């Protein structure tokens, strides 16, 4: 297989510019300055136009963000209130349980105290309330019996009280 060689011929061309005339150069600078000025005005007008749109878009986004924030805040507030209510209920329940336990414990302590006090008083020979009640009823019964006996007996004559002895003079 034969390969074919290709060669590229390069030629060098020198280009030369002609110096611009002062009138032409002034016109080019003036045109460039005018274009720059117009580009600046166009940018300003575009910024003003787009800036107004951007401003209104920012207001709309701000309203949306504020509403979303309020909704999230309301949800969070509801959740906190719910949690607080649950905590309040648990606290009240726990408090009630503690009160019941304390009351039960206090009742047991009080009962033991009463029992020990009663045993101590019994050892000392102090009568109980029931014993005092029985004794009181018995005394009342005996008092009535004595009053009946006294009322049934005839009255004895009254004796004269003896006269005190007087000393005789010697």
Query: How do residues 113-155 score in pLDDT, each as one tens digit?
Result: 988 988 888 888 888 889 899 999 999 999 999 999 988 877 6
The structure's pTM equals 0.35
The domain segmentation of the chain, as residue ranges, is 26-126
CA 59 → CA 51, 53, 63, 64, distances in Å? 12, 10, 6, 9
Q: Tell me how far apart the alpha carbons of residues 28 and 127 are, in angstroms, rounded to a whole number.
A: 135
Query: How do residues 32-76 score in pLDDT, each as one tens digit?
Result: 988 898 888 888 888 878 877 878 888 888 899 899 999 999 999
């Amino acid at each position: 297989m034969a390969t074919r060689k290709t060669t590229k011929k390069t030629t060098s061309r020198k280009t030369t510019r002609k110096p611009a005339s002062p009138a032409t150069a002034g016109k080019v600078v003036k045109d460039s300055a005018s274009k720059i000025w117009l580009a600046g005005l166009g940018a300003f007008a575009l910024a003003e136009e787009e800036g107004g749109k951007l401003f209104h878009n920012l207001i709309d986004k701000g309203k949306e963000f504020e509403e979303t924030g309020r909704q999230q805040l309301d949800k969070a507030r509801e959740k906190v209130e719910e949690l607080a209510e649950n905590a309040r209920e648990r606290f009240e329940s726990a408090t009630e349980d503690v009160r019941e336990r304390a009351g039960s414990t206090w009742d047991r302590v009080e009962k033991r105290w009463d029992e020990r006090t009663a045993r101590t008083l019994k050892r000392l020979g102090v009568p109980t309330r029931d014993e005092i009640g029985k004794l009181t009823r018995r005394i009342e019964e005996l008092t009535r019996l004595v009053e009946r006996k006294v009322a049934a007996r005839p009255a004895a004559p009254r004796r004269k009280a003896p006269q005190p002895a007087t000393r005789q003079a010697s």
